[in-house]
Amino acid sequence: MKSALRKLGPAASTVLSLGALLVLWEILARLAQIDGFPPATEALVQVPLILGERESLASIGASLWRMFLGGALALCFAVPVGLAMGRNKRIAQALNPVLTAAYPIPKAALMPIIMLWFGVGDLSKVLVIFLGVSLPLIYHSFHGAHAVDEKLLWSAMAMGMKPVARLFKVVLPSALPDVLLGCRVGLAMALIVMISSEMIARQSGAGDLLFNALDMALYGDVYAMIVILAAIGFVLDWVFERVRRRLVHWAESRQDAMVPGGGV
């Protein structure tokens, strides 16, 4: 009985704090009486309407697909680059200044330039998501590979393990907790960049839905879209966190607490 309650603990507190947020929103909106700030109830009724429409579902699906593509590309590119930097001083010295300079640049701000080269279509958006996800992923992979315990490598060497095998069998698993931390930051980043890219290149996608509603002063729809995006972020993070725990259950727990993504 008691353990069942305790098991419910985190889920219950999540529901509770979200509920409190909604109540607060409702009260503030009713008090404020501003057009651009509809009460929670008015926004929430729009959610099933939006999700019931084939077109908006397709739009959101297209956004998520681009996000997935950008993220997958970043994974294939950023993890090897980060690991290489972590294991090789020269590579690190060459790339570190580039990283440091690129990190604080809002990736969505590059969107207009990228659009000049690749047009307003999917390619530009996927590219800008790729950029946004790559940086935190490189950074965390670099950190993880750099911190690999030398004695683990030595132990493997003494067993006769060759350099390439050591990269996959020692460096990669050692760095995995950090790589996955980078993935989680990257996930938040991907969502942010996804929306901002669609805000700039208005053509399709969840961001386009949101800003169209804004243009037409459909504030209920605007807030409903924000709620939908928040829910998507929440679900993706929850799923990812379960996967992450599964993959690195063996790791000594450090500060497992999470940092949200840095700049946009």
Binding footprint of another protein on the chain (CB under 8 A): 149, 151-152, 154-161, 170, 173, 176, 248-252
Q: Which is nearer to another protein, 13 or 155 (CB)?
A: 155
Question: C-beta of 83: minimal distance to another protein in Å?
Answer: 16
- Would you say 145 or 229 has its CB closer to another protein? 145
Closest approach, Cβ 174 to another protein, in A, equals: 8
Which residue shows structure tokens 């996927």?
Answer: 126
Minimum distance of another protein from residue 91's CB (angstroms): 22
Q: Give bridge partners of residue 204 from the DSSP assignment.
A: 202
Helix 122-146 with 54-87: angle, nearest 10 deg: 30
Buried/exposed 2-37: b ≥16 CB within 10 Å, e otherwise: eeeeeeeeeeeeeeeeeeeebeebbeebeeeeeeee
Nearest residue (CB) to another protein, 152 versus 232? 152
Nearer to another protein by C-beta: 90 or 151?
151
In angstroms, what is the minimal distance from the CB of 154 to another protein?
5
Minimum separation from the CB atom of position 156 to another protein (A): 8
Nearest distance from C-beta of residue 169 to another protein, angstroms: 9
If the CB atoms of residues 179 and 189 are measured against another protein, the closer one turns out to be 179
Q: Do residues 191 and 233 lie in contact, with contact meaning Cβ atoms separated by under 8 Å?
A: yes
Amino acid at 156: A
* Closer by beta carbon to another protein, 177 or else 220: 177
In the bound state with another protein, the residue whose beta carbon lies nearer, of 102 and 152, is 152
Residues 6+ apart with CB under 8 A from 208: 59, 198, 199, 202
Which residue, chain included where needed, has tokens 């590219």?
127
Q: How far is the CB of 155 from another protein (least distance, A)?
A: 5
